[in-house]
Amino acid sequence: MTKLTHRLAGYLETLARALRRYGRDDGKVLVLGGVRSGKSRHAERLVAHHPHLVYVAPGLPPSAEDPEWAARVAAHKARRPSHWKTVETTDLPGVLRSATGPVLIDCLGTWLSRVLDEVGAWTQKSGWELRLDERLEDFLVAWAQARVPVVAVSNEVGSGVVPATVSGRLFRDVLGALNSRVSAESDRVLLVVAGRVLDLP
């Protein structure tokens, strides 16, 4: 009886994972990819069927001082359906905890860059490591506890050359670790390479 119970429990868990993975609402989904890989477009397609959605843009707001970044932001805005609500904030935990419907975060890389700046990592302010850990853990707890469909886009930074600067290596290492932690708490993880989507087991 014990073997049968264990076998049945295993079957039900496999079925539950399959339903989360391939159901219409995918639970928590992490979409990884390199620059211009098509990761954002794919993430948008995953949530396109929702009549209402909160689009979280945690990167720097566009400014005249950086026309290239402003053009990128404008292109992203032009793609979004008019019924999506855009929230520009670095308070990802707050958004996830208060969400009553689906959420799309694009992206964790731009969010981390701002968080590193806010905690004083770039200038090595005293205590920045502790402040960074607190911010990351707060987000990870909110992600794990999210009860609405949520898709997060992030940069896959582990396949390129080693950055030449200390700040570049710090960003790569922290984002790589963050992606791994988010992946562990996700129902589905996708890797987008040259517009092709790989479903990671």
Q: What is the pLDDT of residues 82-101, one digit of tens each?
A: 889 999 999 999 999 999 99
The pLDDT, as a whole number, for residue 21 is 47
Q: Are strands 188-193 and 196-200 parallel, antiparallel or unpaired?
A: antiparallel
Contact between 27 and 79 (Cβ < 8 Å):
no
The pLDDT, as a whole number, for residue 69 is 61
Per-residue confidence band for 6, with pLDDT thresholds at 50, 70 and 90: low
**Residue in the block written with tokens 């990761």:** 39
Residues 6+ apart with CB under 8 A from 60: 66, 69, 110, 113, 114
Give the mean model confidence (pLDDT) for residues 68-76.
69
The pLDDT, as a whole number, for residue 11 is 62
Per-residue confidence band for 200, with pLDDT thresholds at 50, 70 and 90: very high
Active site residues: 76
124: three-class secondary structure by DSSP? coil
Per-residue confidence band for 23, with pLDDT thresholds at 50, 70 and 90: very low
Q: What percent of the chain has pLDDT over 70?
A: 82
Which DSSP string corresponds to 3-38? Answer: HHHHHHHHHHHHHHHHHHHHSSS-SEEEEEE-TTSS
- Between CA 79 and CA 61 the distance in angstroms is 17
Cα separation values, 83 from 46, 123, 148, Å: 16, 40, 18
> Residues 60, 169, 32, 19: is their CA dihedral positive or negative?
negative
Residue 107 has pLDDT above 90, yes or no: yes
Give the mean model confidence (pLDDT) for residues 60-64.
67
Most confidently predicted of 24-28, 120-124, 163-167 = 120-124
- Pair of tokens at residue 100: 């009553």
- Between CA 146 and CA 32 the distance in angstroms is 19
